[in-house]
Structure 1
Amino acid sequence: MKHTKVKDLLNSTKPIDDVMVKGWVRTFRNNQFIALNDGSVLHNIQCVVDFENTPAETLKRITTGAAVAIKGNLTESQGAGQKYEIQVKELEILGDSDPEKFPMQPKKHSLEFLRENAHLRVRTNVFGAIMRVRSVLSFAIHQYFQEKGFVYVNTPIITGSDAEGAGEMFQVTSLPVGNPPLNEEGKIDYKQDFFGKETNLTVSGQLEAETYAMALGQVYTFGPTFRAENSNTSRHLAEFWMVEPEVAFNDLDANMDLAEDFIQYVIKFAMDRCADDLKFLDQRLADEEKQKPQAERSELGLLDKLNFVLENNFKRVSYTEAIDILKNSKPNKNKKFNYIIEEWGADLQSEHERYLVEKHFKSPVILFDYPAKIKAFYMRLNDDNKTVRAMDILFPGIGEIVGGSQREERLDVLQQKIADLGIDEKELWWYLDTRRFGTAVHSGFGLGFERLVLFVTGMGNIRDVIPFPRTPQNAEF
């Protein structure tokens, strides 16, 4: 007999005789009431056991975490809190769970404790909801770009180039770590390595995606990226996923249009399809906020923040205008910012970005035309020779969520910028070829997927929105 998902049973329009459901026991009360969940939905289904006619040995094995198969009739519930329940006719224990050792007890656990049990934390309501939202957002990303005619491109995970020029990359090598071969200069001889050169895990698929955009017009890559940044903040991971579209013939204005439309689409998609999960996460965030001092509480709930993004046009502001606003703001003048804005050229921090969004403009903000010195080499230099055609999208509660730019399409300018940064031009010969053969204006952006999931779920730590977080000193599971 084929089993039915809990979600489908709870959404049934009428009682059904002879159903089978399989899942994991969340709670078992009074030797009679099983709260069963199979991961398909936030809510459990109540299964009513005929304890008088069920062997005592079987009842003892119905413990939190146990996997069971239940056959019975779906009937209208006799108790409050649920529309339907299952009157159990047959019950089989598929997998026992030791109630003394199972960590996920039916009580509130700290997020720190749950991270230590990342292989089991998805059995809680919070992480079940987060991962369903994450899945839907991932699907929405692909659907958006496919509907727009983009080509999905899988860019390399192993690369010989540093797209960001920051050098914070994980090395990939097959050479013996303790005794690598050396060349005549006494340095490691990478010619004897697997790829014949020094290689790393990628920090971005952008450069490779650009080459495909210059043939296919509109492309996007959505894959894992890696950064060896020794940061233990709540916003950084060593392994994360990036969404990176690249579009030929798009200038910065068209790039901003695309990014705004895209991000509103995927958030709306998740709100439509994950209403119960988001309602639950909204209440969870509200409960968390109540524990904070009044001055530290957010003015917006989770659903309020999501609607804030959907209902407001993104305000477009130059970096220069933003600096003037920040310099003259009360928090800056009263030295309430942790990083005081004193002059043009400062690299904005999350507190500055959130001030612009939440206090000054009261809408999502797109900042553009940043100082060239604080942005990557591939961004198009403006005529003032000091700013580049960069853009960042700023959201409430999180700050920057998207970064992008119009790319530098002029060969001579790009070569000079590469030289100024001390990057070996020979390593990027293939990238420069796109400027030699049929160069054209083109743009793109990057969205850190976990940042998006963090925003949509209202979680406070990025380690809680990826199944198994990779951070400094942590590669468990």
Structure 2
Amino acid sequence: MKRITINQIYKKCNLINKIINIYGWIKNRRHSKSGISFIDIYDGSCSNIIQGIVKKNIINYNEVLKLTIGCSVNIIGVLILSHGKNQKYEIKINTIKVLGWIDSPNEYPISSKNNTLEFLRSIPHLRPRTNLIGSITRIRNNIFYSIHNFLQKKNYFWIPTPIITSLNSEGAGSMFHVSTLNKNQDNKDNNIHFIKKNFFGKKTFLTVSGQLTAEAYACAMTKVYTFGPTFRAENSNTTRHLSEFWMLEIEEAFSTLTDIIKLSNNIIKYIIKNILKNCNLELEFLYNKIDKNIFLRLENFLNSKITIIEYNDAIKILLKSKTYFKNSINFGIDLCSEHEKYLVNNYFNAPIFVINYPKNLKAFYMRLNNDHNTVAAMDFLVPNIGEIIGGSEREERKNFLKKRIVDLGLNKKDYLWYIDLRRYGSVPHSGFGLGFERLVSFITGIKNVKDVAPFPRTVNNVLC
């Protein structure tokens, strides 16, 4: 008999009084004195569980009495409408087969209904079995699909960019070194003889961004994006940082800062609309357990207008604020998380774009403005999170780009191919990067990105 999911049961109306075949795990079991057991089953396909009714005349009823939370089962029975509170359907079970038992049920970590997020981080291989992580994962999946759907409809081409690279796309920050040399050879980092013995014959790293290589395709195919894992070896143990995270990066030829601001706003609103449409059960669960403002917050975002402020104006607002900040405010500083949150949570109470940052705060590839002190850059800040998108016009003028590379002390030889893009039919172009886990945090209301990444990698922490 064909297997059906619980999600399919709730979506189809033509299964009542029909025999169905489902697989799943036990969420709860209750036994009545009248010789009937009630078992709650989930299969991860949706937030719903379905109740099964088992009578004592079933052949293996003794096994049913031994079922505990987490046991895996296969059930065949008749689907009926339920008269129970808060449940639409239930199954009159004809046969039940136990596929997997729980060793030492008293020690099973997921048995407790009150496990904290901190505890669940210590068991990343088991936490998908919880309602919370299951709901987050289904929302994450829908966000992922929505991104591709939006961009494909807009005629963007997906480009898989390299994970192993010889370049630091950001021009700063720590990178993970990829090497086939042993530890002692690796320590002779500056010895060209040893470097050439490396697998690629040069220093290589895990990518911090796919932007530069995506630009190469944008300068040939106009509209492209890359979406994959990126890596930062930064000692930042905060609620917003991971050492391995996913990033959407869009590059578009013949576009300006204004264009990518509109695109950033549109893609986030498209994603949120899809989540509200397709993940209502998950949002209801998060509303009850995590964030009473989740629906209002998402609707407010959809109704918000684009607000754009200059970096200098953002600093002026912060200087006039009577709020105490741990990080001091002055012109030329990079905005910290507390500054960003004040702007979006307290001052504007809305998402904002901050534009035209001092050039010393931004990467070498950003286009220099006419004042020669700032670059045509933008950060998209959203309530409770701060920055989720960073982008800019790219410097398409060869001489300006070469000067920035030299001024920042970068090795010009490493970027010759990138400069070639300006030598041969250079065009104005722009792009941005969206931190995927931060977006998931914003939508779900989960405060720590470690709780929305399936297997989070952070400093001193690699489990599984």
Match of 1:437 among 420, 424, 431: 424
The residue that corresponds to 1:310 in the other structure is 302
Q: What's the CA shift for 1:56?
A: 4.5
The residue that corresponds to 2:163 in the other structure is 157
The residue that corresponds to 1:28 in the other structure is 29
Distance 2:419 2:303 in 1: 41
Instruction: Report whether the alignment pairs 1:278 with 2:273.
Output: no
Distance 1:476 1:461 in 2: 17
Instruction: Report whether the alignment pairs 1:59 with 2:64.
Output: yes
Match for 1:367: what amino acid? V
Distance 2:446 2:418 in 1: 38
Q: SS where residue 290 of structure 2 aligns?
A: helix
Instruction: Report whether the alignment pairs 1:130 with 2:117.
Output: no
Q: SS where residue 228 of structure 1 aligns?
A: coil
The residue that corresponds to 1:140 in the other structure is 146
Instruction: Report whether the alignment pairs 1:455 with 2:439.
Output: no
Distance 1:437 1:243 in 2: 27
Distance 1:442 1:180 in 2: 39
Instruction: Report whether the alignment pairs 1:340 with 2:345.
Output: no
Q: What's the CA shift for 1:52?
A: 4.1
Give CA deviations for 1:195-232 in whole Å, capped at 9, x if unaligned: 00000000000000001000000000000100000111
Match of 1:322 among 290, 314, 323: 314
Q: Does the CA-based 8 Å contact 2:58-2:94 persist in structure 1?
A: no
The residue that corresponds to 1:474 in the other structure is 461
Count of aligned positions: 458
Distance 1:12 1:218 in 2: 40
The residue that corresponds to 1:5 in the other structure is 5
The residue that corresponds to 1:223 in the other structure is 228
Matches within 5 A, 1:76-475: 76-98=81-103, 99-180=105-186, 186=191, 189-286=194-291, 301-331=293-323, 336-341=324-329, 343-475=330-462
Question: CA, structure 1 residues 264+174, in 2 after alignment: closer, same or farther (shift >3 Å)?
Answer: same
Question: CA, structure 1 residues 53+225, in 2 after alignment: closer, same or farther (shift >3 Å)?
Answer: same
Q: Does the CA-based 8 Å contact 1:51-1:59 persist in structure 2?
A: no
Question: CA, structure 1 residues 426+38, in 2 after alignment: closer, same or farther (shift >3 Å)?
Answer: same
Give CA deviations for 1:400-429 in whole Å, capped at 9, x if unaligned: 110000011111111111001110010011
Q: SS where residue 106 of structure 2 aligns?
A: coil
Question: CA, structure 1 residues 384+249, in 2 after alignment: closer, same or farther (shift >3 Å)?
Answer: same
Match for 1:122: what amino acid? P
Give CA deviations for 1:24-57 in whole Å, capped at 9, x if unaligned: 1111111611110000110100001113434343
Q: Does the CA-based 8 Å contact 2:311-2:356 persist in structure 1?
A: yes
Q: What's the CA shift for 1:309?
A: 1.4
Distance 1:272 1:240 in 2: 26
Give CA deviations for 1:75-97 in whole Å, capped at 9, x if unaligned: 11132121110000110011111
Q: What's the CA shift for 1:347?
A: 1.2
Match for 2:2: what amino acid? K
Distance 1:467 1:25 in 2: 22
Q: SS where residue 402 of structure 2 aligns?
A: helix
Q: Does the CA-based 8 Å contact 2:310-2:354 persist in structure 1?
A: yes
Q: Does the CA-based 8 Å contact 1:21-1:69 persist in structure 2?
A: yes
Q: SS where residue 277 of structure 2 aligns?
A: helix
Q: SS where residue 49 of structure 1 aligns?
A: strand
Match for 1:337: what amino acid? F
Q: SS where residue 444 of structure 1 aligns?
A: strand
Q: Does the CA-based 8 Å contact 1:181-1:188 persist in structure 2?
A: no
Match for 1:244: what amino acid? E
Q: Does the CA-based 8 Å contact 1:23-1:68 persist in structure 2?
A: yes
Distance 2:391 2:25 in 1: 44
Q: What's the CA shift for 1:329?
A: 1.9
Distance 1:463 1:187 in 2: 39
Match for 1:200: what amino acid? F
